[in-house]
Amino acid sequence: MDVASTAKRRGTGRTERGRQSRQQLIDGARTIFERDGFLRARIADICDEAQTAYGSFYTYFVSKEEIFHEVVDSVEIDLLRLEPFPEDAKPIERIRAANRHYLETYQRNAGILRVIMQVSTFDESVSQTRILRQDEFARAIERRTRIYQEQGIADATLDPWLAANALGGMVAFIAEKLVSGDSPLDIDDAVDQLTKLWSNAIQLQDP
């Protein structure tokens, strides 16, 4: 399909009604992908779930793959997006809030995240999207760690990049353990323990 045709179709989502219809399809797609998996999911079922006519699907999306990528984007952004903190928020409060947000969001999205991880094993673009989001999150942690080091409240000998990736990976691993039922902790205990591990790892001091 040519670029002009694709652009024209996507452009129909610019009106309020178009945006609502498009979002209904994305929400319906998420439900179907989570229920049936990517390979078994059908566009007809997505349209039924979204209560949208079959032909309308192609007004907004070219294929099942394209709408799946939209679902991936929305989930990954939700998982890694943090609400702005007040300027006077204590470092430990920032770390605790970030850990809680990740664990709770992972828990809410566990079903579709499993599908995304499965698809990422054979779809390079989905894999790259996940890697890019994780890299963005790690860079945010790295920047914050550098700030703490410059303020003299974190270990200045730590490599911020390595610390960011190691600590982010730790939280992601525990999130999966909580969802799979392999953790003896509940989410509140996990947040407390992860926050202690994080602050101890960078030797965080109360300014």
Q: What is the pLDDT along the chain (207 residues), one digit of tens a residue?
A: 444 444 444 545 668 888 999 999 999 999 999 999 999 999 999 999 999 999 999 999 999 999 999 999 999 888 888 777 777 889 999 999 999 999 999 999 999 999 999 999 999 999 998 888 889 889 989 999 999 999 999 999 999 999 999 999 999 999 999 988 888 889 999 999 999 999 999 999 986
Going by C-alpha positions, the residue among 129, 157, 143, 148 that lies closest to residue 199 is 148
- CB–CB of 50/27 below 8 Å? yes
Give DSSP secondary structure letters for 127-188: HHHHHHHHHHHHHHHHHHHHHHHHTTSS-TTS-HHHHHHHHHHHHHHHHHHHHHT--SS-HH
Residue 18: which H helix or E strand, with range?
helix 16-40
Q: 167: burial class by Cβ within 10 Å (0-12, 13-18, 19+)?
A: buried
Q: 1: burial class by Cβ within 10 Å (0-12, 13-18, 19+)?
A: exposed
Domains annotated on the chain, with CATH: 3-62 (1.10.10.60), 75-201 (1.10.357.10)
pLDDT tens-digit series, residues 159-180: 999 999 999 999 999 999 998 8
C-beta atoms surrounding 31 within 10 Å: 17
**Chain-centroid distance, C-alpha 125:** 15
Q: What angle do CA 48, 51, 56 make, to 5 degrees?
A: 90
pLDDT tens-digit series, residues 149-161: 999 999 999 999 9
Instruction: Give the single-character DSSP code of 85.
Output: P
